[in-house]
């Protein structure tokens, strides 16, 4: 799909761009580049699927001939079910080969909508309702899985849903449930039953990017958004037909689907799928380096938490010399973790940056050039990326200067066409069509970008902005620290003060007091020294491995409010506090209490109002 490039820096990117991208890519749809990739060597392995890490040497192998045949059959089946160019096929599936058949078959005939199977049933229902799902593909009712139970509980509540397809399930025509495995064989594998001329701006997919409450935020991505992104990844990665990549990130997320899916499939690469659970499978992580040796993997995509786990796993006598580099994104990588992992594994780490709205990647450190540790690298070909200064209302003021912190903005053929729900599009576009990512960063004189935080993650202490990284990085340098997350907790005087949640290595003899003392001498800014350190067994992560900071902010808030409400004294027999997301107020503190004899709820409410008068969070009081 692409010629080979040596990209050392921005000058090489600019040289590439002298030829328009439309002349280089010469394709308009995902199915077109998949067909071309499958034709390079039909007998070559496209997928090696590992059921688990302990049986890594017994893969299920899918050749390119079999891959494209099944994609065609799946597309034909969806067409037979009434799917057209604007109809949505949602899927709720783990990482299995059938997920790829579904995704690319859906994009060939209609619009694909990947959904995280770990979401609550009500959230899955809301996503399908917002997407106007016509066909839903999921797992059958298999032992040890909960996916079908979720779908069965909400499928009748999706107004537009006409059919449910069960992979490894049974057909029940009266309920409009179709068994994938028995039905898909009835359709031709050598041709398409429909004659669709896909245009480059046709919508290919809807990816869920928002939170778990309120109207789901669905990003509308075109075929060309995904095609140019596959080209970008190949150009920056320097791959050849047969190059092997490991896939451990989920196939409801665009890193899994594009970086370790569409891109390698378009150049005849070999994807090793690391079990249905991916990196969440302990047996995969335990055998990771043996898997690298067995399949001679050249690269893998990861998030910082994955590298943190691999750091604790001995390479042993495994030969991992085939690994050229690891790509790390999704969240800023600690400089300390970066250095430790490279020393441990003897491989390069290429830190990059991207988001769903930009089709997955916008910048990366060049594999052939200078890697600036801690930066997210240089922009990719045919993409524009800059730092802008916005006012308090989010309106564009000017472009930032070199090394000046502002908001990261992106533009290019990879950038999506807005969200499905028009309300989500308010304020996202800047002058000249740039997309406001909401991330804070700066650009240096060499064109390398550096993330400095996210606006909503900033800790604002008495009007002073504190970047959580200024707390996290020094603590990471303390021995036996696995994960660190700094968040703001409510404070009656400063509005917010920083606290640090820490996950320590197994068996580490570290106390919260020791970490706090370390922070006092290593955090460079006095205002950023955390007021409290909380050692926790597990820092909460999103399904793609990012630290889920809202849960930590909620926990910090709970602790503060519980302490304050001790002032109720003998007015109550018991009181409990929970904190969670609220679709109107952002966050809600729910206070449930049982009045003591002789005290009524109205009296207690008045006292609570006095106690919490200096806090700004919305709260509700209920009687147990």
pLDDT value at position 355?
Answer: 92
pLDDT by residue (tens digit) across 607-620? 999 898 778 788 99
* Confidence class for position 212, pLDDT limits 50, 70, 90: very low
Torsion of CA 456, 457, 460, 461, to 10 degrees: 160
Q: Report which listed range, 403-417, 449-463, 494-508, is most confident.
A: 403-417
pLDDT value at position 453?
Answer: 66
Q: What is the DSSP letter of 605?
A: H
Residue 436 contacts residue 411 (beta carbons within 8 Å): no
Q: Report which listed range, 246-255, 325-334, 390-399, 538-547, is most confident.
A: 246-255
Q: What is the rounded CA–CA span in Å between residue 531 and residue 492?
A: 14
Q: Beta-carbon neighbour count of residue 316 at 10 Å?
A: 9
Phi, psi angles (nearest 5°) of residue 540: -65, 140
How large is the average pLDDT for residues 172-196?
A: 96
Q: Which two tokens stand for residue 260?
A: 């370790």
User: Nearest Cα to 134, choosing from 161, 103, 107, 164?
Assistant: 161
Beta bridge mates, 139: 167
pLDDT value at position 97?
Answer: 98
By the 10 Å C-beta count (0-12 exposed, 13-18 middle, 19+ buried), 193 is classed as: middle
Percentage with pLDDT > 70 across the chain: 96
Residue 484 contacts residue 475 (beta carbons within 8 Å): yes
Q: What is the rounded CA–CA span in Å between residue 64 and residue 364?
A: 29
What stretches of 394-545 adopt beta strand conformation (E)?
396-399, 406-411, 435-443, 449-454, 459-461, 464-466, 481-491, 495-504, 532-535
CA distances from 392 to 132, 395, 397, 475, 525 (A): 36, 7, 10, 32, 25
Q: Where are the alpha helices (DSSP H) in 39-139?
A: 64-80, 97-109, 121-131
Residue 387 contacts residue 405 (beta carbons within 8 Å): yes
Task: Give the CA angle between residues 421, 427, 430 to the nearest 5°.
Answer: 125
The single residue listed with the structure tokens 């050749």 is 63
Strand (E) or helix (H) holding 91? strand 88-92
* Confidence class for position 114, pLDDT limits 50, 70, 90: very high
pLDDT by residue (tens digit) across 577-623? 999 988 666 789 999 999 999 999 999 999 999 898 778 788 999 99
Residue 433 has pLDDT above 80, yes or no: yes
Residue 381 contacts residue 362 (beta carbons within 8 Å): no
**Cα 589 to the chain's mean position, in Å?**
27
pTM of the model: 0.82
pLDDT value at position 35?
Answer: 98
Report strand pairing: 378-379 vs 396-399.
unpaired
Strand (E) or helix (H) holding 308? helix 304-311
Domains of the chain: 10-443 (3.40.50.12780), 458-547 (3.30.300.30), 560-623 (3.30.300)
Phi, psi angles (nearest 5°) of residue 615: -100, 150
Q: Which two tokens stand for residue 510?
A: 């570290």
Average pLDDT, the chain: 92
Q: Which two tokens stand for residue 490?
A: 């409510």
What is the per-residue DSSP string for 230-252?
HHHHHHHHT--TT-EEEE-S-TT
Q: Beta-carbon neighbour count of residue 396 at 10 Å?
A: 17
pLDDT value at position 2?
Answer: 62
Task: Tally the C-alpha atoms within 13 A of residue 147's C-alpha that lie toward its C-beta.
Answer: 24
How large is the average pLDDT for residues 98-125?
A: 95
Neighbouring residues of 146: CB distance < 8 A, sequence distance ≥ 6: none
How large is the average pLDDT for residues 54-58?
A: 97
Q: Beta-carbon neighbour count of residue 554 at 10 Å?
A: 20
* Confidence class for position 89, pLDDT limits 50, 70, 90: very high
pLDDT value at position 456?
Answer: 66
* Confidence class for position 125, pLDDT limits 50, 70, 90: very high
pLDDT value at position 55?
Answer: 97
Provide the total of helices (H) and of strands (E) in the chain, helices listed first. Answer: 19, 29
How large is the average pLDDT for residues 484-507?
A: 90
pLDDT value at position 584?
Answer: 60
pLDDT value at position 1?
Answer: 58
pLDDT value at position 238?
Answer: 86
End-to-end CA distance of the chain: 64
What stretches of 492-560 adopt beta strand conformation (E)?
495-504, 532-535
Strand (E) or helix (H) holding 37? helix 30-38
Q: Is 49 left (phi over 0), alpha (psi -120 to 50) or beta?
A: beta
Q: Which two tokens stand for residue 146?
A: 């909960």
Q: Please, what sign has the CA dihedral across residues 553, 559, 565, 567?
A: negative
Percentage with pLDDT > 90 across the chain: 78
pLDDT by residue (tens digit) across 138-164? 999 998 899 999 999 999 999 999 999
Question: Which has more confidence, 261 or 469?
Answer: 261
Residue 213 has pLDDT above 50, yes or no: no
pLDDT value at position 337?
Answer: 75
Q: What is the rounded CA–CA span in Å between residue 203 and residue 110?
A: 8
pLDDT by residue (tens digit) across 310-356? 988 999 999 999 999 999 887 666 677 788 888 888 889 999 999 99
Quote the crossing angle between the two packed helices 335-345 and 469-476, to the nearest 10°: 40
pLDDT value at position 144?
Answer: 86
């Amino acid at each position: 799909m692409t010629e080979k490039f040596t990209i050392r820096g921005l000058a090489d990117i600019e040289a590439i761009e002298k030829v328009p991208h439309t002349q280089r890519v010469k394709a308009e749809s995902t199915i077109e580049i998949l067909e071309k990739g499958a034709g390079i060597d039909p007998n070559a392995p496209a997928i090696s699927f590992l059921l688990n890490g302990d049986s890594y040497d017994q893969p299920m192998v899918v050749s390119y001939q079999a891959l494209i045949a099944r994609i065609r059959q799946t597309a034909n089946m969806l067409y037979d079910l009434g799917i057209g160019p604007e109809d949505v096929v949602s899927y709720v599936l783990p990482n299995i080969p059938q997920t790829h058949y579904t995704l690319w078959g859906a994009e060939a005939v209609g619009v694909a909508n990947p959904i995280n199977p770990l979401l609550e049933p009500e959230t899955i229902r809301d996503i399908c309702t917002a997407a106007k799902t016509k066909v839903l593909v999921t797992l059958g009712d298999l032992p040890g899985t909960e996916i079908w139970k979720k779908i069965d509980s909400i499928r009748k509540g999706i107004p537009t849903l006409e059919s449910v397809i069960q992979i490894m399930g049974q057909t029940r025509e009266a309920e409009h449930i179709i068994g994938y495995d028995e039905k898909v064989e009835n359709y031709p594998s050598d041709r398409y039953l429909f004659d669709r001329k896909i245009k480059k701006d046709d919508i290919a997919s809807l990816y869920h990017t928002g939170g778990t409450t309120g109207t789901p935020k669905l990003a509308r991505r075109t075929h060309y958004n995904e095609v140019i992104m596959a080209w970008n990844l190949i150009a920056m990665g320097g791959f050849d037909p047969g190059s092997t990549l490991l896939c451990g990130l989920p196939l409801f997320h665009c890193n899994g689907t594009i970086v370790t899916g569409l891109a390698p499939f378009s150049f005849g690469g070999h994807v090793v799928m690391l079990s249905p659970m991916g990196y969440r499978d302990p047996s995969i992580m335990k055998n990771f380096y043996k898997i690298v040796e067995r399949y001679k993997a050249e690269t893998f995509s990861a998030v910082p938490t994955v590298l943190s786990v691999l750091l604790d796993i001995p390479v042993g006598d495994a030969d991992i010399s085939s690994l050229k580099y690891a790509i790390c994104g999704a969240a800023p990588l600690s400089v300390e973790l970066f250095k430790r992992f490279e020393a441990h594994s003897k491989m390069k780490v290429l830190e990059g940056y991207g988001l769903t709205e930009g089709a997955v990647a916008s910048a990366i450190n060049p594999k052939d050039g200078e890697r600036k540790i801690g930066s997210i690298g240089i922009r990719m070909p045919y993409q524009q990326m800059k730092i802008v200064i916005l006012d308090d209302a989010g309106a564009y003021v000017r472009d930032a200067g070199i090394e000046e912190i502002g908001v990261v903005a992106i533009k290019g053929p990879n950038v999506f066409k807005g969200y499905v729900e028009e309300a989500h599009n308010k304020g996202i576009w800047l002058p000249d069509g740039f997309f406001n990512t909401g991330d804070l960063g700066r650009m240096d004189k060499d064109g390398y970008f550096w993330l400095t935080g996210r606006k909503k993650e900033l800790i604002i202490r008495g009007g002073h902005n504190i970047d959580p990284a200024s707390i996290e990085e020094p603590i990471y340098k303390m021995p036996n620290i696995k994960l660190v997350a700094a968040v703001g907790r409510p404070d009656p005087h400063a509005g917010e003060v920083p606290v640090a949640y820490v996950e320590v290595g197994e068996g580490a003899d570290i106390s919260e007091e020791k970490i706090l003392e370390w922070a006092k001498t290593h955090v460079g800014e006095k205002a950023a020294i955390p007021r409290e350190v909380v050692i926790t067994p597990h820092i909460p992560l999103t399904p793609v491995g990012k630290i889920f900071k809202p849960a930590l902010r909620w926990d910090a808030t709970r602790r503060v409010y519980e302490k304050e409400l001790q002032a109720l004294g003998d007015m109550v027999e018991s009181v409990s506090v929970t904190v969670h997301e609220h679709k109107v107020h952002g966050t809600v503190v729910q206070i449930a209490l049982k009045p003591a004899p002789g005290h009524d709820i109205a009296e207690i409410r008045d006292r609570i109002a006095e106690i919490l008068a200096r806090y700004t969070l919305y709260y509700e009081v209920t009687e147990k």
